Amino acid sequence: MIKVVILGAGNVASHLIDILLPKTDTQLIQVYARDITKITHLKNHVSITNNIELLKEADIYIIAVSDNAIGTISSKIKTKGLVVHTSGSVSINSLNNSGRKGIFYLLQSFSKDKKVDFDTIPFCLEAENKDDLKTLETLALSIGKKIYFINSEQRKHLHVAAVFVNNFVNHLYTIGNDICSKYDVPFEVLYPLIKETALKIQSLSPEDAQTGPAKRNDTKTIKNHLDLLTNKQQEIYTILTESIINGKKL
């Protein structure tokens, strides 16, 4: 049985606590948060503390705090056991504990109040040795199903890729919404297209799935479109159109 301590009280920490609390094969034995009021609701279910000197002995310490707090918190963990963090963009070397280190990165966008389907979430795991990696895999499989071994160099790039397909894609949705609002078109008209676009790339590579005036180099339609846009929208339209037209050339 794997004994786990979670450090943190944010979205990722909360969802991990929720899924781990009822488990028997994996045992959540303690939750730490700097601000104890954020975890007092857990006190009847698990040991809680805001004193990092009082961490219990466990197999894995999961640090699920903001990126810039990972270094400081990890440096204060004096117990034995594997210390991992859950961040996509922080290297394994940023963990400052003196013992073993690893990564337990859940690649999904978490919202506090929305239930998470752990079966679909990719667990991106890294450790300094095979035994620790095996332990992390066992922990991940007790929660979810999709396991990937991703080292810090790969994870850094994966995190940038995620910015493109999540943050930037969402911003393009915002622009679409802005255009619709301006002309009294309900944005929901675009929901099926948005969904189809997101699902299509699971059966076709995004390069093969590309359609539209830029792909056809249809300069007449492109010009007509530009005439309909604000300056800022024109800039984005132009740079993405050029990028599609040029393909892998640049």
**Positions in 34-93 near a second copy (CB under 8 A):** 67, 89
Instruction: Give the SS3 label for residue 205.
Output: coil
Among 108, 138, 142, 152, binds a second copy (CB under 8 A): 108
Alpha carbon distance 172, 155 (integer Å) = 24
The residue among 75 and 177 lying less far from a second copy, judged by its C-beta, is: 177
140: number of Cβ within 10 Å: 21
* Shortest distance in whole angstroms from residue 70 CB to a second copy: 13
Residue from the set 121, 125, 140, 143 that interacts with a second copy by CB under 8 A: 121
**Contact at 8 Å (CB) between 97 and 83?**
yes
Cite the beta strand spans of the chain per DSSP E. 2-7, 26-32, 47-49, 60-63, 82-85, 101-106, 122-127, 146-149
Contact with a second copy (CB under 8 A) among 124, 125, 128, 138: 124
CA 177 to chain centre: 24
Residues 176-235 interacting with a second copy (rule: CB under 8 A): 176-180, 182-186, 188-202, 205-207, 209-215, 221, 224-225, 228-232, 235
Report whether 48 contacts 31 (CB < 8 A): yes
Number of Cβ atoms within 10 Å of the Cβ of 237:
17
Q: Shortest gap between Cβ of 82 and a second copy (angstroms)?
A: 23
CB of 246 to a second copy, least distance (A): 8
Q: Which two tokens stand for residue 38?
A: 């954020």
| CB closer to a second copy, 53 vs 250 | 250
Q: Which of 40, 72, 98, 109 is close enough to bind a second copy by CB under 8 A?
A: 109
Give the nearest distance from C-beta 41 to a second copy in angstroms.
25
Determine how many CB atoms are found less than 10 A away from the CB of residue 122.
Answer: 17
Q: How many CA atoms lie within 13 A of 109 on its CB side?
A: 6
With CB under 8 A as the contact rule, the residue among 72, 157, 219, 223 that binds a second copy is 157
57 vs 116: CA distance, rounded Å: 29
Q: Name the one range near a second copy by CB under 8 A: 19-27, 41-49, 75-83, 173-181.
A: 173-181
Q: Which is nearer to a second copy, 61 or 105 (CB)?
A: 105
